[in-house]
Amino acid sequence: MKNIQEKIEKLKAELLEYSSKYYSENISVISDIEFDTKLKELEKLEEEFPEFKQMDSPTHTVGGIASNKFKKVAHKYPMKSLSNTYSISEVVQFNQRVSKSIKKFNLAYILELKLDGLSIALHYEEGKLVQALTRGDGEIGEDVTDNIREIASIPQKLSQNFTGEIRGEIVLPISEFKRINENRAKMGEVEFANPRNAASGTLRQHDSKVVKERQLDGYFYFLQSPENYYISTHLESIAYIEKLGLKTTGYFAKCTTLQELENTINKYEKLSKKLNFETDGLVIKLNECGLYEQLGTTAKSPRWAIAYKFPAQKETTRLLAVTFQVGRTGVITPVAELEEVLLSGSRVKRASLHNFSEIKRKDIRIGDRVVVEKAAEIIPQVVSSIVGSRSGDELKIVRPVHCPSCNSKLVEKGMALICMNRQCFEKVKQQITYFASRSALNIEGLGEKIVEVLLTHKIVTTLSELYDLESKKSQLMELDGFGKKRVNSLLENIEKSKKISVSKFIYSLGISFVGSVTADILEDSFHTVEAIRSKSVEELLAVNGIGVQTAQSIFDYFRDEHCQIELEELLSKGFQFTEKTYTEVGDSFFYGKKILITGSFEEFKRDDLKEIIKSLGAQNVASISKNTDILLVGNEPGSKLEKAQNYGIMIMTESEFKLKLTEMRK
């Protein structure tokens, strides 16, 4: 059983890291199909061993996290992600599940293009655009209304006095992407990797003029609560969206047989290569909207729709060399240096080789012609070598003995090679870059290149020394490119970063297996940095959502002598940790109410629920009566549910309770 738990923890940590990179940093470490294979493996293990299922599992979470650059806003209706399929047989299985669930056959589906951009939810009141939110983590998004107003194709005033929510995708046209990259190349700037990356980065600009200049576009495909507008089918909702004045792709096909589905999939796959926006597949939706509620959703996906991903685009090229990158934890990662090849609209010179065991398994050699794949991702990967094309001059890839940055002797840990030198230049650079990144302390103006300059000139050597830069202002201003305005802005942003939540601070330390979700759990459970660092492995394991590997990693980090010294130095710089509080609206909703808990819960321990209820000014009650205000129900609620219905008591599910808390939190 211990091996099973360790396997679950490892899969969970990998998937959370991949998701964080993709949604928060626009970096894809592995392909979609590899991600989904690992996700399905985790789902299967969690079903077989539910005792090891945790609330921060990627099988529950959606998307990434909302950036601190923009105001965070709770979605009125969670923005779920779609489950992926990669074959017609999986589409057939999806149809069988739907038919069996609703006991209805000969169903009609709508096929539509799946755009590769940034999901957006537009809110209109009486026909006027009032708010635009990104997906964020599915429950909380970023308010990017000002930037959306700069997109010419999105009307600020609709043709009718519509009030409601419409969802779609923000994309950068391929022609515009090429124009921007040509200009960036002329200016000596780093080119965007692909249109999705460019669209995501553009929409998150603080300067809305940049959004206007880059000519983003928007296509819309989903009307929230269509029944409110007397609409009964998805195809009718698309026609209504178009009538309001919003753009759709115009490619929607109704299919009533599996043969029609297969034919349309093949047709749209060929069509997708001729369009001026990137697509990575199709979305298959049940046409009859009235069945959506009956089918419901899983923790992260609707059961009435599914994504069909096109096969990955592949190209062949020559592997010229292999370089070795040093990560913030010291892990050495091999990277393929390639003859330039055009792949999914991007010029590719580098690709991931993942690790040394993969190199050995695939028998990849320097000089090989290799197959490079890019399935809706930013970092391509080497899939295989073409052994038949070898001349005999190819060289085996040799594992390095010494760190390519500091020349320290590398240490083997499992399948990984690690640099253990704490002063390793590249390792420290990655640690500081991670600490300052948007997902962590969000220090604007302190990207990897600036960190490298500071380290090269020995102005900074540790995390804590960032907070001593005010005293080195004159040194900074002597550096190339560091004018007075830039230096003052950087110092101001560093100072601003001292006011931060406990969870963000913990996340920024880069503790292995501690992502944003785990950091939130730690703050919610222990409240302060001091409390978190003092806990034993057993105390950490007692928290719902923290497994064995994560608990041990947290414990080891706070017992490491070097980490303790660095943490003390950081804490001495005057951090002001903000507390999670509730709004008056939230307090008034729960305050004084009598709440009864019944059933078993997936994400909360009963004791934790009772503490939360108590903190909201509400009262926990032990039995149901006509005086009970809310019945909080989990799985298998028993007879209390029927009694609550008879008494007219408000019934709240775990997800509804969680959403209410999210709305209330500042």
Tokens of 598: 């019944």
* pLDDT confidence bin for 205, thresholds 50/70/90: confident
**What is the residue type of 544?**
N
Helix (H, G, I), strand (E, B) or coil at 383: strand
* pLDDT confidence bin for 365, thresholds 50/70/90: very high
- Cα–Cα distance, 339 to 369 (Å, whole number): 10
Kindly tell me if the per-residue pLDDT of 408 is higher than 80. yes
Query: Mean pLDDT, to the nearest integer, of 514-528?
Result: 82
Query: Mean pLDDT, to the nearest integer, of 144-155?
Result: 91
- Please give the domain boundaries of the chain with CATH numbers for all domains: 2-52 (1.10.287), 72-309 (3.30.470.30), 313-418 (2.40.50.140), 425-575 (1.10.150.20), 584-664 (3.40.50.10190)
Lowest mean pLDDT across 188-202, 214-228, 295-309, 328-342: 188-202
Percentage of residues of the chain with pLDDT beyond 70: 87
What's the pLDDT tens digit per position in 295-349?
988 777 899 999 998 876 778 899 999 999 998 889 898 999 999 887 766 678 8
**Catalytic annotation on 374?**
no
Helix (H, G, I), strand (E, B) or coil at 151: coil
What's the pLDDT tens digit per position in 536-556?
999 998 886 687 888 999 999
Q: What is the pLDDT of residue 114?
A: 93
What's the pLDDT tens digit per position in 95-148?
999 998 988 878 999 999 999 889 999 999 999 999 999 988 788 888 999 999
Phi, psi of 663 (to 5 degrees): -65, -35
Place of tokens 């507390």: 579
Q: What is the pTM of this model?
A: 0.51
Instruction: Name the residue among 400, 333, 351, 391 with its Cα closest to residue 367.
Output: 391
What's the pLDDT tens digit per position in 11-68?
777 777 666 555 554 454 455 556 667 777 777 777 777 766 665 576 655 444 444 4
Q: What is the pLDDT of residue 555?
A: 95
Helix (H, G, I), strand (E, B) or coil at 78: coil
Query: Taking all residues of the chain, what is their mean pLDDT, rounded to a whole number?
Result: 84
- Cα–Cα distance, 661 to 159 (Å, whole number): 36
> Cβ of 350: how many Cβ atoms within 10 Å?
15
Q: How far is CA 263 from the centre of its chain?
A: 33
* pLDDT confidence bin for 272, thresholds 50/70/90: confident
Phi, psi of 193 (to 5 degrees): -70, -40
10 Å CB burial of residue 158 (0-12, 13-18, 19+) is buried
Kindly tell me if the per-residue pLDDT of 575 is higher than 80. yes
- Cα–Cα distance, 436 to 430 (Å, whole number): 10
Query: By the 8 A CB rule, do 299 and 59 touch?
Result: yes
- Cα–Cα distance, 257 to 183 (Å, whole number): 48
Query: Mean pLDDT, to the nearest integer, of 440-446?
Result: 90
Helix (H, G, I), strand (E, B) or coil at 572: coil
- Cα–Cα distance, 384 to 638 (Å, whole number): 55
Q: What is the pLDDT of residue 125?
A: 95
* pLDDT confidence bin for 241, thresholds 50/70/90: very high
Q: What is the pLDDT of residue 65?
A: 44
Query: Mean pLDDT, to the nearest integer, of 229-235?
Result: 95
Strand partners for 384: 371
Hey, CA dihedral for 452, 453, 459, 463, is it positive or negative? Answer: negative
Kindly tell me if the per-residue pLDDT of 185 is higher than 80. no
- Cα–Cα distance, 643 to 637 (Å, whole number): 11
Strand partners for 545: none
User: What own/partner pairs with CB < 8 Å and gap ≥ 24 does 149-153 have?
Assistant: 149/208, 150/208, 150/209, 150/211, 150/212, 150/216, 151/211, 151/212, 151/216, 151/217, 151/218, 152/212, 152/215, 153/217, 153/218, 153/247
Place of tokens 């880059």: 214
**What is the residue type of 296?**
G
Q: Who's near 85: CB < 8 A, 6+ residues apart?
A: 91, 94, 306, 307, 308, 309
From 12, 38, 53, 114, the catalytic residue: 114
